[in-house]
Amino acid sequence: MLTSGLAVAAFIVIVILLPRVVAGVLAVLSGWIAVTLLVQAWRLRHLGEQDASNARRGSSKGPGDRR
């Protein structure tokens, strides 16, 4: 518990003394999350379009499909 308290205290000192460093790290982390979410959304949309075109053609390749 003492170690955790010291770690939090050290973090607070860093935040107080170097707020730009903390802001920079948070900005990079937020950007990474945003790009990851955009890529995932693009993939899901692309897969959805493929499923829709396959359903229109009548060729479903889903699990349990025995055609």
Please check whether residue 25 lies inside any domain of the structure.
yes
For the stretch 30-60, what's the b/e string if a residue is b when 16 or more beta carbons lie within 10 angstroms of its beta carbon? eeeeeeeeeeeeeeeeeeeeeeeeeeeeeee
The domain of 40 spans 19-52
Q: Give Cβ neighbours of residue 60 (< 8 Å, ≥ 6 apart).
A: 54, 67
Please check whether residue 8 lies inside any domain of the structure.
no
**0.75 exceeded by pTM:** no
Please check whether residue 9 lies inside any domain of the structure.
no
Q: What are the pLDDT digits (tens) for 10-59?
A: 989 989 999 998 899 999 999 999 999 999 999 999 888 887 777 777 75
Please check whether residue 40 lies inside any domain of the structure.
yes
Please check whether residue 58 lies inside any domain of the structure.
no
Domain count, the chain: 1
Structure tokens at 14: 């860093």
Instruction: Write down the residue that tokens 């959304």 correspond to.
Output: 41
Please check whether residue 30 lies inside any domain of the structure.
yes
Please check whether residue 33 lies inside any domain of the structure.
yes
